[in-house]
Amino acid sequence: MAPETTLDPRFSDPKAHAAEWSEAAARLAGAEVFWLTTVRPDGRPHVTPLIAVWSEGALHFCTGPGERKARNLEENQEVVLTTGTASLADGIDLVVEGTAVRVTDETRLQALTRAYVEKYGDDWRFEVRDGAFVGDGGTALVFAVAPRTVFGFAKGDPFGQTRWRF
């Protein structure tokens, strides 16, 4: 299903047009680094960089079960993933809001292991065991974030803010 796409004129140049979702999805698929924001049990935010793969309409990331982000997700599954460029003059920054859902299906996890290797190389090869990834660093829980809302911040000329609602 295609998202509802709108350009916010309050934050956009009059020459700007709403970006196509296909362009944003391609950028999510190609981005190497994302910043994940979770919420600590006391309400404070926790932000950390990580890698992720775009597959079947969702971003997927993994984390050790004892890591802060995994412990935060036990309490509150609402997350934000961001990616983009450090430039003010060009590119597009993307902000993905959604719910992190644990992936435990062995067939799905096998497909995701292949996606990690395809995108990041052999250093990111995992085995699938007991509903999780297992690698040199131990066990990693896998989460999927299907976008609820995505914001795209086009930089340069023209600048603009596109919102996609699913």
Residue 58 in domain: yes
Q: Which domain holds residue 38?
A: 4-102+146-161
Does the pLDDT value for residue 1 go beyond 90? no
pLDDT tens-digit profile of 132-149? 999 999 999 999 999 999
Query: pTM of the prediction?
Result: 0.96
- Count the alpha carbons within 13 Å of 82 in the hemisphere toward its beta carbon: 13
Residue 138 in domain: no
Q: Rounded to whole angstroms, what are the CA distances from 131 to 43, 109, 128, 134?
A: 29, 8, 7, 10
| pLDDT value of residue 78 | 98
Does the pLDDT value for residue 38 go beyond 90? yes
Question: How many CB atoms lie under 10 A from the CB of residue 51?
Answer: 15
Residue 37 in domain: yes
Q: Which of 50, 56, 62, 52 is nearest to 108 (CA)?
A: 56
pLDDT tens-digit profile of 110-134? 999 999 999 999 999 999 999 999 9
| pLDDT value of residue 61 | 98
| pLDDT value of residue 89 | 92
Confidence of residue 15 (pLDDT cuts 50, 70, 90): very high
Residue 81 in domain: yes
Residue 109 in domain: no
Long-range contacts, stretch 105-109, CB < 8 angstroms, 24+ apart: 105/131, 106/131, 109/133, 109/142
What type of residue is 63?
Answer: T
Residue 75 in domain: yes
Looking up residue 71, the CATH number of its domain turns out to be 2.30.110.10
pLDDT tens-digit profile of 57-115? 999 999 999 999 999 999 999 999 999 999 999 999 999 999 999 999 999 999 999 99
Residue 112 in domain: no
Tokens 């609602």 — which residue?
165
Tokens 């919102």 — which residue?
163
Q: How many domains are there within the chain?
A: 1
Residue 40 in domain: yes
